[in-house]
Structure 1
Amino acid sequence: MQDNWIKTTCPYCGVGCGVEANVSSDGQVTVRGDKSHPANLGRLCSKGLALGDTVIPDGRLLHPSINGERVNWQQALNHVSSKFASIVEEHGPDSVALYVSGQLLTEDYYVANKLMKGYIGTSNIDTNSRLCMSSAVAGHKRAFGTDTVPGCYQDFEVADLLVLTGSNLAWCHPVLFQRIKAAKEQRPDMKIVVIDPRRTDTCDIADMHLPVKPGTDVLLFNTLLAYLAKQNLHSPEYLERYTEGAEQALHAAHGDVPELGDLSDVCEILGLDGEILNRFLALFAETENTVTIYSQGVNQSTSGVDKVNAILNCHLLTGRIGKPGMGPFSITGQPNAMGGREVGGLANMLAAHMEFTEQQIAQVQTFWNAPSMAIQPGAKAVDLFDQISEGKIKAVWVMATNPVVSLPDADKVKQALKQCELVVVSDCIADTDTTRLAHVLLPARGWAEKSGTVTNSERRISRQRAIVPPTGEAMPDWWIICEVAKRMGFEQGFNFNSPAEIFEEHAALSGYENEGSRDFDISGMQGLAETEYDQLAPFQWPMATRGEVSLHKRFFAEGNFYTPSKRARLVPVKYRAPASGIDGKYPLVLNSGRIRDQWHTMTRTGLAAKLNAHIPEPFISVHPNTAKKYALEEQGLAHVESAHGSALVRVQVTDRVREDELFMPIHWTGVTSARARVGALVSPDVDALSGQPEFKYTPVSVQPWYRQSEALFITAETDTQISESEYWVNQRVGQGLLYRMASLQSSETIASLLEARLSCISADQKLSFIDSATGSYRLALLKEGKLLACYIVGKRLDRDDFDWVSTLLEKPLGSEAMRSIMSGKAQGSLAAGRIVCACKQVGYKTLCNAVKGGAKDLDSLKSCTSAGTGCGSCVPELKEIIDENLFEAAD
């Protein structure tokens, strides 16, 4: 391998980790953490470490097409531009829309926003970032006058108290979790509080866990606000000089918490023990250096904006903002959600953090020389697809996202796209739930092929650089948008030749008639030569003057807010229950979120076999008492239903969730599963201010699904689509696919159907086993010692006994593998069990055996198995395995 490491950024969460990539002569990509990048200092999580495994041609969208017929780029661009132009001419600019993504680079985002709001003349451009952080945006704007994240990551390490609310940092932002964990090891007196209905892996480093009922965050922080005031812990100087509205905010809080001496009613609503609530209140009150980190658990709610402001109120009341180790901190979910906010990617914003005021509309129009400037906000995500359903929006262009999976009431979204006059999709993946509904497909470049910038959660802008040549005819998103714009007659505004030229205009607009009136200002980066842009090092905004030397920039320690009065607003907020309550028909609450090794709808992480091993199937987590009440069994299947849709998933029985509450991951799609899109269940209820949906509280019912058979089917053909069973999930394994199946049909019937499917395969060896008495059927087809396809069918197949099947395509089958297939039990080295450590590929049974063999503490277990020595995300689970096995030994 050549010693030619290219610095770029990770395409996953909002941490914005620096990555170094190297490409070997045969095209294999190797990645490592960039030790010089301030966000991660060389650390990567399991997903980042596996990035090289995802840079493959499999599944890529290679060529433009119209109605399923391959066309060239000129034909595709002409078709899109002429259709958009004719629809606008006939029905007006609001009849078209763009739905974009935090996966776009800032330069892509900028030209998309410019096209819609400045040239077509509509604000109907919204982003999937609406689903993850728009409540934080609205809360910031209400309190600060602008969408500003005041602090930086360094605050996490120097704080004396970290409050993590609605954030499973260990799984969703693992590198920040590892930074905090390391800081706590250095300073054991540092306190960490986790506020979450679930006991997540983030609790592994917590001193206190508050398992609040979903949706009660406003009441919790209003209680805290009232407590701080009663204890006279407000900051009179900060309040008087820099804020307004404290009296009104406290009045509202006291309306929720009328008597602090008796919090029994509050505890009942929160679902908390009084002692732990009082301990939390006292800890926050006595610790000046406090940072509150919040994410989707706060934002994804019909009261999400109020939740954000309830948190901000507590920091403003005490003056704990803008100084090292103190402040509120919103962590974004996507790699460039912040970049999208900077360029006005949301339907209710203009570029450069400008708003739909008469003055700022005129400023943007003048700067862009825009012929048809939008003058009011457009449709937010849920409303946008409602308008498609109603026929008001007749053409939609979806970029780098999968709304048929990720939006709430997803079946309605699917139906809306089916009846839309024109659906254009730009993507790098050929087969998604959304591309299946497109009239026009445009192949976009993937992560390793794109060049531009992204902004992370601490306002740090980093370069993303192309590592490999583009696949097929894929083109950059900014180029595709500009070419369509030119064909619509807008060449003057879109005559860009590189992302560097777009970045130059973006930087210039940020400083245009600014003079300190807006927080976002990177005008110091104007005039970068192409070579300077190529070499651009990470920097944090604001950057009004190039060369400003400050690694950690903060806002608001000494006021200077962006409201008309220049003061921060404490906003009065009141607790209110979620929009849709539980009832007799839907008595349970469904929460949703991410799992450790997957990202969004798995179009990238799903390509890495090692990332599929830890949790290979969609599931619901359910408390043991709830499982007993509804006759659910561990590893059984459950039918989950809401007022909007249904799902069929595995059951995970755990005391990590509250009684009568369920958790389900967001990642599975109609391409990777039969019925596991959580979006199909989720209510379309949204926050009235932010438009962010209520993903954390959906009333549902649940009942067992009594399957008659289960099967594993593995094949070297990666385009195989299974339809033989009612339940199926597929995952990438080695050089093929593994299907996990369950059916209402008998195992004999399923075996017959699968054997018929394999009848066309030319093999030189066949292994077969039939035991009709037990309902067990196994068949393997080989050629030249390598497995072509195999199935294992039975009445029940316990996952921990069959994880070895996923490794069968990786190498020629030896005697151990053949014996395992025929016996249905793992032999020899295949008996490692389900993968726990994705980085080092260490299995559950290997870890259990190591503990039983004497590795009775974490260091010993890591030393003898190497588990936990990669990204460290599996460490909480390693501790559980140690405890479980030591407990069993004690019995």
Structure 2
Amino acid sequence: MPVQGIDGPEQVVPNAACRQCAINQCVLMTTSRTTASTCCYCGVGCGVLIEHDDEKILGVTGDPKHPANLGRLCSKGSTLHKTGDLAARALYPELRLGKGMARSRTDWDTAMDHAAQVFGRTIAEHGPDSVAFYISGQLLTEDYYAFNKLARALVGTNNIDSNSRLCMSSAVVGYKRSLGADAPPCSYSDIETSDCLLIAGSNMAFAHPVLFRRLEAAKEANPDKRIIVIDPRRTDTCAIADLHLAVQPGTDVALFHGLLHIMLWEGWIDRAFIDAHTEGFDALKSLVRDYSPAMVSELCGIHPDDLQAAARMIGSAPSFMSLWCMGLNQSSSGSAKNSALINLHLATGQIGKPGSGPFSLTGQPNAMGGRETGSLSNLLPGHREAANAEHQSEVAAYWGVEQMPLNPGLSAIELFEAVRSGKIKALWIACTNPAQSMPNQTLVHEALANCPFVVVQEAFATTETCRYADLLLPAASWGEKEGTVTNSERCISHVRPAIPAPAETRPDWAIVCDLAQRLEKQLRPGQPSLFDFSRPSELFDEYKGLTAGRDLDYSGLSHAMIDELGPQQWPFPAGAERGTARLYSDGQFPTPDGRARFIAEQYQPPQEKRDARFPLLLNTGRLRDQWHGMSRTGTAAQLFGHVEQALISLHPDELRSRKLQDGQLVRVKSKRGSLILPVQGDEQVRSGQAFIPMHWGDRFLKGLGVNVLTQPAYDPLSKQPELKQAAISLQPVALPWELFILVEGRVQEQLSALRPLCEDFDYASFSLTGRERSALLVRVAHTEAASVDWLSRVDALLGLDSGPVVAYDDPRRAVGKRVRIEDGRITAIRLTGETAARDWLRNVWNSGEADAALRQWFMAPLSSPPGGATISNDKTLCNCMNVSQSQIEAGIARGLDLDGLKAELGCGTECGSCVPEVRQLLSKRVNFVEA
């Protein structure tokens, strides 16, 4: 079959191994294909070029023709080809025939027959609302559509919700209440053209680094561009800010009202736009009159001059754009925060024109597509409302069914409460990991353990949720499946497969349709199937009809047209020649009267406050190189180089006042649970506050992960939980016995085997390390030493019980040392009792050579590194070029500036994610010299 040329989605290039060969007729020469597709991580929606040989993905680069990223990729996207470890994948259906029994491999027919029988019987005995579906912002639009049709048209329940409830539902409410539709009005190009840009509740440098690169370039090209960052922490994003407002957590509504108060006083509003295109301004004006600079500054914890400066920047700018993410959305007042920010745009007329408008940054690759297809319990396809009778009739008629379900559906928090109480008796989970991502993990784990029947449709068998699956269904993953996604700027891209799905994995839409066709025999016997689809394009073509005439109309698109024209922004109605870059340029909004709405709501404090028992406020957020629950990124050792383990960060003054040292283990406690973590000093965090990255669950950290601490209180309108804020206490713990393991090779198998063995210890942390040689790192601490039998089991698992192993044991001091050396290279290490030498040993392992000094140390009673030196673990600052922080600091000490560091070390020359930290190191050096 002919392959499309270079301008098409595929091209043929020489294999990477043959590019160095000048002999065109070399008999060993093979070819590889390059398939254009889309990244599967955040909502930026970057285009990628996948190099493959039709069996294996060989490499990934940015697609210079994709409008979202123009060839750029972040550290996560550029390492996608390194996340294909089949040892972490679900490859075959597995079925558990009874609670407490182990799952065993089965075939697809048996698996799907069993699922259909249980769901059908549950529906017959307890009604359609006794079952539920919990799906994911990582599904493709076609997958979403199949799930929605299954739940609503066939099963007859609105109990279908998505993990987007934890991500974007407050933004949905904000857009709909203020502007009339869930439609972000901007394009990424507005980042370049905006004169003033406000970033609220987003560490954009980490969470959306490709967009941050665009902003950095735009700021460099136009130094007069003003950037305001609102964040309790001084994150890497603040490095580019002209003004950082380090507000007290949760006070954003008061801040936005205070800004509008000043802008009204100074006359920095557009009265003509307000009168012509909005409603409700007088009520808002009356409300914000009380939000004086003095009151807002006191409440938000910022200086009045900074509040005034921010108002001046916004009010005097020819164009004003705002970007926001979880800091606004994950709140019990998330809807109010979104609307209060949009109020600023409406008051200044800064919407619908270049460089202007409110623009939410989507957290997941297709959370937008989920909103479009109705994949929240309160929605129906085509931006319709599940509670709206007219909308119900429209969808029922389109699908050819009698009616849509009438009972309200359960949102994520409500859904798992219903599972725990026994109201939900059969739960289908797809492409998401609630046993890591939901707040109040203790109750979530109880719910999953008690549910009579749990189906998990998942690509990665290693997630925390999979352990609760009575039926595990292996799903195809990125690079193996086809469909579409919609990114933050409403741009629809064609996701193309590069290689066949491995083993017996299937695309998500195909699994759904298989179940539906079997259920139809019970629920609609003798009637034509509603799920007679043979390829994703057929699902797309049926679904797009439900968008026709709606605000998101993309009835004029198809898979083939996207291939021809490239990614397109909706609306793209029938007959259109290109997508719509910007909404509301005519001042008309999709409300009954065509006017936008000002929303006047008082500031409400967060649900949980500091008190004597819980004196610290916990904030959670993203790391640069990890994503969500690490089901995929946790398979790539390279992505642990920047931050290796879960830590709780406090301001150095907070550490000193509590007499704590960096690396010391502490017990972190909230009203819902506790967790043991190392503590570190971090000047980005204000005193009285704490920060833990969101990514660690029970797989990599004993104790159910960070969300054992977070709270399930949620916004009353969006039902989005307040994951961003919880009150905690912190106490040091004494765990004198320690264990350190480093073992290279089959890291996923080793992790799966070792993690259960560490369940009875107080503290256990797991991570990966290395670039060319991947290894598993395990750290354990406990009040008492492990038994000899336990250590023997571990040694047998690690290959430290026989062969070329150097061993030393001191029972009196409970110190033990084991190292396996093969061909002069360390392949496994186990230290017990005391592990002061662990970082020195890692450096030896990284060097690739096991010298005589190492052997001598292992055979001596010493536990500390030779010479007693303190050796820290040097983190990787630039993942793309494998450049450590110490290398960069050494270059700075030699007088290199940023360009010099790029030229000599290569840092910052690929994805650029390390540049903010490099600049911080340069700034520290300049301040030191000046002092």
Task: Give the C-alpha shift of residue 225 in structure 1.
Answer: 1.5
Contact 1:837 1:843 in 2 (8 A): yes
- Structure 1 CA distance, aligned partners of 2:275 and 2:376? 34
Contact 2:39 2:48 in 1 (8 A): yes
Match of 1:444 in 2: 475
Structure 2 counterparts to residues 305-316 of structure 1, below 5 A: 305-316=335-346
* TM-score, normalised relative to structure 2: 0.89
Structure 2 counterparts to residues 736-815 of structure 1, below 5 A: 737-745=775-783, 754=791, 757-759=794-796, 761=799, 763-768=802-807, 777-785=816-824, 787-793=826-832, 795=834, 797=836, 801=840, 803-804=842-843, 807=846
- Structure 1 CA distance, aligned partners of 2:178 and 2:927? 50
Match of 1:834 in 2: 875
The alignment status of 1:521 with 2:553, answered yes or no, reads yes
Alpha-carbon distance change, 232 to 533 in structure 1, aligned in 2, over 3 angstroms:
closer
SS in 2 for 1:283: helix
2:901 pairs with one of 850, 861, 864: 861
Alpha-carbon distance change, 173 to 495 in structure 1, aligned in 2, over 3 angstroms:
same
Task: Give the C-alpha shift of residue 737 in structure 1.
Answer: 4.2
The alignment status of 1:584 with 2:612, answered yes or no, reads yes
SS in 2 for 1:730: strand
The alignment status of 1:615 with 2:681, answered yes or no, reads no
Match of 2:270 in 1: 235
Contact 2:436 2:704 in 1 (8 A): no
Deviations 1:500-551 (A, max 9, x none): 000101111211xx2xxx21100112xx4x755666621110000345235x
Match of 1:401 in 2: 432
2:351 pairs with one of 295, 298, 321: 321
1:23 pairs with one of 29, 52, 68: 52
Structure 2 counterparts to residues 634-673 of structure 1, below 5 A: 634-673=662-701
- In structure 1, give the amino acid aligned to 2:36: K
SS in 1 for 2:479: helix
The alignment status of 1:369 with 2:410, answered yes or no, reads no
- Structure 1 CA distance, aligned partners of 2:796 and 2:512? 47
- In structure 2, give the amino acid aligned to 1:743: A
Contact 1:395 1:423 in 2 (8 A): yes
Task: Give the C-alpha shift of residue 848 in structure 1.
Answer: 2.6
Match of 1:850 in 2: 891
Match of 1:626 in 2: 654
Task: Give the C-alpha shift of residue 567 in structure 1.
Answer: 0.9
SS in 1 for 2:642: coil
Alpha-carbon distance change, 793 to 275 in structure 1, aligned in 2, over 3 angstroms:
farther
Q: Which runs of 5+ in 1 are unaligned?
A: none
Alpha-carbon distance change, 536 to 107 in structure 1, aligned in 2, over 3 angstroms:
farther
Task: Give the C-alpha shift of residue 772 in structure 1.
Answer: 8.3
SS in 2 for 1:731: strand
Task: Give the C-alpha shift of residue 787 in structure 1.
Answer: 4.0
- In structure 2, give the amino acid aligned to 1:267: S
- In structure 2, give the amino acid aligned to 1:354: R
The alignment status of 1:358 with 2:389, answered yes or no, reads yes
- Structure 2 CA distance, aligned partners of 1:264 and 1:872? 40
1:292 pairs with one of 308, 314, 322: 322
- Structure 2 CA distance, aligned partners of 1:348 and 1:806? 54
Match of 2:302 in 1: 272
Task: Give the C-alpha shift of residue 215 in structure 1.
Answer: 0.4
Contact 2:36 2:496 in 1 (8 A): yes
Match of 2:174 in 1: 139
The alignment status of 1:224 with 2:284, answered yes or no, reads no
- In structure 1, give the amino acid aligned to 2:496: R
Structure 2 counterparts to residues 98-137 of structure 1, below 5 A: 98-137=133-172
Deviations 1:759-808 (A, max 9, x none): 46365322345678998653211345454421244645488655536747
- Structure 2 CA distance, aligned partners of 1:546 and 1:630? 67
- Structure 1 CA distance, aligned partners of 2:872 and 2:254? 50
Q: Percentage identity across aligned positions?
A: 39
- In structure 1, give the amino acid aligned to 2:345: H
Deviations 1:77-133 (A, max 9, x none): 111111111111111111110000001000000110111122211110000000011
Match of 2:248 in 1: 213
Alpha-carbon distance change, 812 to 106 in structure 1, aligned in 2, over 3 angstroms:
farther
- Structure 2 CA distance, aligned partners of 1:464 and 1:520? 20
SS in 2 for 1:523: coil
- In structure 2, give the amino acid aligned to 1:782: I
Match of 1:11 in 2: 40
Match of 1:471 in 2: 502
Task: Give the C-alpha shift of residue 198 in structure 1.
Answer: 0.1
The alignment status of 1:878 with 2:908, answered yes or no, reads no
Contact 1:244 1:567 in 2 (8 A): yes
Contact 2:33 2:54 in 1 (8 A): no
Task: Give the C-alpha shift of residue 825 in structure 1.
Answer: 5.3
2:83 pairs with one of 54, 68, 80: 54
Identify the range of structure 1 (762-771 vs 375-384) with the bigger mean alpha-carbon deviation: 762-771
- Structure 1 CA distance, aligned partners of 2:205 and 2:853? 37
- In structure 1, give the amino acid aligned to 2:703: R
- Structure 1 CA distance, aligned partners of 2:855 and 2:60? 35
- Structure 1 CA distance, aligned partners of 2:265 and 2:928? 49
Contact 2:392 2:403 in 1 (8 A): no
2:367 pairs with one of 325, 329, 337: 337
1:540 pairs with one of 566, 569, 580: 569
Structure 2 counterparts to residues 417-496 of structure 1, below 5 A: 417-489=448-520, 492-496=529-533
Task: Give the C-alpha shift of residue 857 in structure 1.
Answer: 1.7
- In structure 1, give the amino acid aligned to 2:352: G
Identify the range of structure 1 (553-562 vs 694-703) with the bigger mean alpha-carbon deviation: 553-562
Match of 2:547 in 1: 510
* TM-score, normalised relative to structure 1: 0.93
Alpha-carbon distance change, 3 to 753 in structure 1, aligned in 2, over 3 angstroms:
closer
Contact 1:165 1:293 in 2 (8 A): yes
- Structure 2 CA distance, aligned partners of 1:534 and 1:540? 14
Match of 2:23 in 1: none
1:684 pairs with one of 712, 726, 732: 712
Alpha-carbon distance change, 796 to 169 in structure 1, aligned in 2, over 3 angstroms:
same
Contact 1:500 1:533 in 2 (8 A): no
Task: Give the C-alpha shift of residue 815 in structure 1.
Answer: 7.0
- Structure 2 CA distance, aligned partners of 1:819 and 1:701? 44
Q: CA RMSD in A?
A: 2.5
Aligned residues: 871
Task: Give the C-alpha shift of residue 757 in structure 1.
Answer: 2.1
Task: Give the C-alpha shift of residue 696 in structure 1.
Answer: 1.3
- Structure 1 CA distance, aligned partners of 2:633 and 2:57? 17
Alpha-carbon distance change, 204 to 521 in structure 1, aligned in 2, over 3 angstroms:
same
Task: Give the C-alpha shift of residue 313 in structure 1.
Answer: 0.7
Alpha-carbon distance change, 19 to 871 in structure 1, aligned in 2, over 3 angstroms:
same
SS in 2 for 1:488: helix
- Structure 1 CA distance, aligned partners of 2:636 and 2:560? 34
- In structure 2, give the amino acid aligned to 1:333: G
Alpha-carbon distance change, 213 to 867 in structure 1, aligned in 2, over 3 angstroms:
same
Identify the range of structure 1 (183-192 vs 763-772) with the bigger mean alpha-carbon deviation: 763-772
- In structure 1, give the amino acid aligned to 2:734: Y
Contact 1:670 1:677 in 2 (8 A): yes
The alignment status of 1:597 with 2:625, answered yes or no, reads yes
- Structure 2 CA distance, aligned partners of 1:208 and 1:534? 43
SS in 2 for 1:329: strand
Match of 1:384 in 2: 415
Task: Give the C-alpha shift of residue 559 in structure 1.
Answer: 2.3
Deviations 1:132-169 (A, max 9, x none): 11000011111112111011111111001110000100
Alpha-carbon distance change, 818 to 870 in structure 1, aligned in 2, over 3 angstroms:
farther
Alpha-carbon distance change, 826 to 237 in structure 1, aligned in 2, over 3 angstroms:
farther
Identify the range of structure 1 (450-459 vs 349-358) with the bigger mean alpha-carbon deviation: 349-358
Identify the range of structure 1 (122-131 vs 754-763) with the bigger mean alpha-carbon deviation: 754-763
Identify the range of structure 1 (580-589 vs 766-775) with the bigger mean alpha-carbon deviation: 766-775
